[in-house]
Structure 1
Amino acid sequence: MSIDPSSIPSFGVPQPQPGPGQGGRPAGPPPIVVPDAKLVTQLLDQMQLKHATDEEGDLVAPWEGFRVYYMFRGEQKELFAVRAFYDRVYTLEQKPEILDLIDEWNRETLWPKVYTHTHEDGIVRLIGECQMIVGTGVNLDYFITTTANWTQASVGFEQWIVERLGLQQDIEDAEGTDGEGDAPSED
């Protein structure tokens, strides 16, 4: 099943919507499909996102500081999940502050729902997750729009947490170094 490029959200840039029967699609509701990795790959390609397949067969799109996984789970791959693994490390002492922040995020946004994962060595990391049941089929436009929105929201969370923790200057300083930990490079 091919994805109609006009159905992919533009995240702010209005796109003309074809009328009934236009745009290469017949009039009427979009088809119901059972999504699979091939469909998600087409969507990521059309969104122009760099991606790969990991050793478990899940699709992964990397960003600086986090990765977004697109995975199907269940005996018949009936559960589709978009899961973001954020690389920033927090200590156990920071966990109460982080929990307060992600509670705020989870109250104020629909997705991704974010939670902490504490490793055996005491390192705390954040994970964002969205899920939908797709085994009996889903409206193609709904699947495309939701997956694209979940991806954008995963990126948005990273920007939000950087802002809330006041880390923007630290990130800019790290990007401005010459790679050896010295002062920022001059332009």
Structure 2
Amino acid sequence: MSIDPSSIPSFGMPSGGNQGGGKPAGPPPVIVPDQALVTQLLDQMQLKHVVDEEGDLTAPWEGFRVYFMFRGDHKELFAVRAFYDRPYPLERKGEILDLVDEWNRETLWPKVYTHTHEDGVVRLIGESQMIVGAGVNLDYFVTTTANWTQASVGFEQWMVERLGLQDEIENEEGEDGEPSDEA
């Protein structure tokens, strides 16, 4: 399944400015975001989402999941964390680290790192964070969250391209995008 990051609406575009002709309405309010606001944003983006057993909001894609989490004693830290399901053997960790370093040098978010499981399988995790406990501009929060989500999707596509996995993925799917029975 191919994911088009441009299909996720960008809330960072200017809204057309002042339409009343008078004074600008002023800056958007400063809010302390919560899970209800993020749920509203995901609904506006038309993204499927669920709340997991730990109470974190999760948007699943084929091959990875994006979590929207509030952490800290007073939920003052907001994080968007992507867990990528593709396993890499330990022998390829050096190659994967080189690619992750390239991504981290050339992009702002998500910052991606490896996690090596006890069985020697290497997986990737992407993460972006902001402190929200003292409040944050509503437009900034919405735009940043949407962009972090879009970038998490973009990283998956970037890895597929960099590793030349597109043919392998297409062979695993049938004509209609469903998994092939020929495995």
Question: TM-score, normalised on structure 2?
Answer: 0.87
Among the aligned pairs, what percent are the same residue? 75
Corresponding position of 1:107: 105
- Distance in 2 separating the partners of 1:162 and 1:12: 26
Q: Quote the offset at 1:17 in angstroms.
A: 1.8
The SS at the match of 1:68 is strand
2:108 is paired with a residue of what secondary structure? coil
Output the amino acid matched with 1:65. Answer: G
- Answering whether residue 60 of structure 2 is matched by residue 58 of structure 1, we say no
| AA partner of residue 59 (structure 2) | A
How many residue pairs match? The answer is 171
Q: 2:38 aligns with which of 20, 26, 40?
A: 40
Distance 1:16 1:144 in 2: 13
Residues 49 and 61, structure 1, Cα contact 8 Å, conserved in 2: yes
Alignment of 1:1-187 (within 5 A): 10-11=9-10, 17-19=16-18, 27-176=25-174, 179-181=180-182
Q: C-alpha displacement at 1:64, in angstroms?
A: 0.6
Matched-pair contact (CA < 8 Å) for 1:66–1:84 = yes
Q: 1:21 to 1:49 in 2, by over 3 A?
A: farther
| Alpha carbons 2:66, 2:82 under 8 Å: kept | yes
CA RMSD of aligned residues (A): 2.2
- Which structure is richer in relative contact order (CA contacts within 8 A, separation 6 or more)? 2
Separation in structure 2 between the aligned mates of residue 11 and residue 39 of structure 1, nearest angstrom: 16
Kindly state the Cα deviation for residue 30 of structure 1 after the two structures are TM-superposed.
0.3
Distance 1:82 1:174, change over 3 A: same
Amino acid at match of 2:52: D
Asked if structure 1 preserves the Cα contact closer than 8 Å seen for 2:9 and 2:146, the reply is no
Kept in 2: contact 1:20–1:27 (CA 8 A): no
Given that residues 114 and 125 in structure 2 are in contact (C-alpha distance below 8 angstroms), is that contact kept between their aligned partners in structure 1? Answer: yes
Say which SS state the counterpart of residue 125 (structure 2) adopts: strand
CA apart distance, 1:43: 0.3
CA contact (8 A) 2:171 2:180 kept: no
**4+ residue runs of structure 1 moved beyond 4 angstroms?**
12-16
Runs (5+) with no aligned partner, structure 2: 1-7
1:180 positional shift: 2.5
C-alpha distance in 2 between matches for 1:92 and 1:162 = 18
